[in-house]
A and B are shown apart, each in its own frame.
Chain A
Amino acid sequence: MIQTNILEYLEKTVKEVPDKTAYTDGKHGLTFAEVFHYSRAIGSYLSREGFYREPIVIYMKKSPEVVAAFYGTVYGRCFYVPFDEEMPEYRVSLILETLKPRLMICDAYTEKKLIKIGFSGRCLRFEDAVKTEIQDGKLAEIREASMDTDPIYIVFTSGSTGVPKGVAACHRSVLDYVENLSRVLGFNRETVFGNQSPLYFDACLKELYPTMMFGATTYLIPRSLFMFPVKLVEYLNENQINTVCWVVSAFTMISSMGTFDKVVPKYLHTVAFGSEVFPIKQFNLWRQALPGAQFTNLYGPTECTGMSCYYRVNREFGEDDMIPIGRPFKNTEILLLNDEDQPAEEGETGEICIRGTCVTLGYYRNPEKTKEVFVQNPLNDCYPELIYRTGDIGRYNEFGELVFVSRKDHQIKHMGHRIELGEIEVHVNQMAGIRMACCVYDKEREKIVLFYVGDAEGKDIIKELKEKLPRYMIPNLVEKIEEMPLTANGKINRMELKDRCANL
């Protein structure tokens, strides 16, 4: 029978390796049997209390328990919405307005925050939820009724209007993704993942689901280690971590500090990186340090479940070369569309559009934004077929591999985070003492630079922004200017501002 529910992986694996550690931070972990038990207890709680086919917010510090809370939500045929525990209260309340959740699963730390925000729904502590008596009959009934088009999760991503957008993905898309990603990267039961990405992004799907599919193990690496390269590599070695899928800045942090002179992550054989340009000088340091490892570049938007394209590094790259994003996963197609919505000619640039089962359900309670980018395939006038327009511009190189060229809009990638510069600007423009504001990204130095006209002090702007935006969206440089440079047709001249960054 065709698999229709992501939890079937867990149910198969728990029979084979119940006592193996599934998820751990290195000190504290959960076995597959524990994950299985906890998640069914949470599913039973949801069913008993009448939560069904609705969003359940998981607002907890990063830990193995969070993963059990995710699966528990799916057992109850609800969908989990992971929250960043460090997210400013203002942003939490914005997202709550969209979601209108009736239940949040929290821990001691986040429970206090919720009281401050004045959340009107129910708060459930994880440790209480897992005490629920398991109702096998009820869980079987729920499973019988469930469908592979049911959403599993919603993850929130930056929105240019100032309101974050929630991307909802279903079982079918996640199954498709996990199967194809695992095939490309060669995961198996011996895989030991070192997870870097926060659990509130889709990036963590790469580790969480293959772990339950194969009976592998995931180490949730403490975030603070990503500041201390030698300690980080020692952690990888102590735990014999052999597979990592990280943001580029995590890799360059290690290689650029001369870490490999002291210590090398000797068990690593599978290295995947994604969604950002890997500076070739740093990349080559990694290849020299790990000559036997397989390196893979991954590319894909949250709106298409995770990663959609891959390139397995199979040649040398010089310092001026770009590592391609390669080719789509099986069961996914890339359409490169030019300005006329026709397939781009050879060598011509076009917008990267994606079709396939990986295309997610769209933005939760946001039909306007959904309609803008989840659109009818312009090459198909015979039946309804949605594609996702990424807004990324690409072209094919001489090897027929897809290469990322630029963005159509003001979305950037900064330290692995996807950010709409417009979202920062909306908040600055609302402040007292600001007449005009514009953010640009200084790619060379990896800094978000805010230019503004007004009487406000840079220090105060930052202070206020920290109450509204996650830390990674806070401008790294603030520059007060007398007048905003404008283009001939009266728009802010971003090119001019970018040029000015060089002199700051």
Chain B
Amino acid sequence: MNELLDMLSDLHEDVDFESCDTLIDDGILDSFDIVTLITQIKDEFDVTIPADEIVPENFNSAEAIWNLIHRLDEE
């Protein structure tokens, strides 16, 4: 989880990712961020996020992203 939080902080140093659960709803993450995240998740966790998992629900909070990584890793 810390690795993921570091990744997110690199994108937006001024956001508290541990508590924020409206990353998409409030427009904090933009398309550039999503593309960057997906690339980094592949590099760091060796997890490929398929296109149909790239939906708002899976990116609204650090926790949601973390759960997604875990779920895909187990599959």
Contact = CB atoms under 8 A, between A and B. Distances in A.
The 4 closest A-B pairs by CB, nearest first: A259-B51, A459-B13, A227-B31, A257-B51
B14 A459 contact: yes
B24 A224 contact: yes
Interface in B10-69: 10-14, 24, 27, 29-32, 34-36, 38, 49-52, 54-56, 59
B32 A415 contact: yes
Contact of B30 (A257, A466, A471): A471
Interface extent on B, as a size class?
Answer: 20 to 34
B8 to A, nearest CB: 13
Contacts of A261: 50-51
Contact of B14 (A227, A229, A231, A462): A462
Interface in A182-237: 224, 226-231
Contacts of B27: 224
Given A257-B38, A458-B13, A477-B10, A228 B54 contact: yes
Contact of A227 (B10, B34, B50, B52): B34
Interface of B: 10-14, 24, 27, 29-32, 34-36, 38, 49-52, 54-56, 59
A463 interface: yes
A227 B51 contact: no
Given A229-B51, A476-B11, 8 more contacts: A227-B24, A227-B31, A230-B51, A253-B35, A257-B38, A258-B50, A259-B51, A446-B32
17 contacts: A224-B24, A227-B54, A229-B51, A230-B51, A253-B31, A257-B38, A257-B49, A257-B51, A259-B51, A261-B51, A262-B52, A415-B31, A462-B14, A463-B13, A466-B14, A476-B11, A477-B10
Interface of A: 224, 226-231, 249-250, 253, 256-259, 261-262, 415, 446, 458-459, 462-463, 466, 471-472, 476-478
Contacts, number: 62
Nearest to B49: A257
A459 B35 CA distance: 22
Contacts of B24: 224, 227
A415 B59 CA distance: 21
Given A253-B31, A253-B35, A229 B13 contact: no
Contacts of B12: 462
Interface residue SS majority, chain A: helix
Q: Most chain-B Cβ atoms within 10 A of its Cβ — which of A229, A261, A478?
A: A229
Q: Most chain-A Cβ atoms within 10 A of its Cβ — which of B36, B54, B56?
A: B54
Contacts of A466: 14
Nearest to B50: A258
A229 B32 contact: no
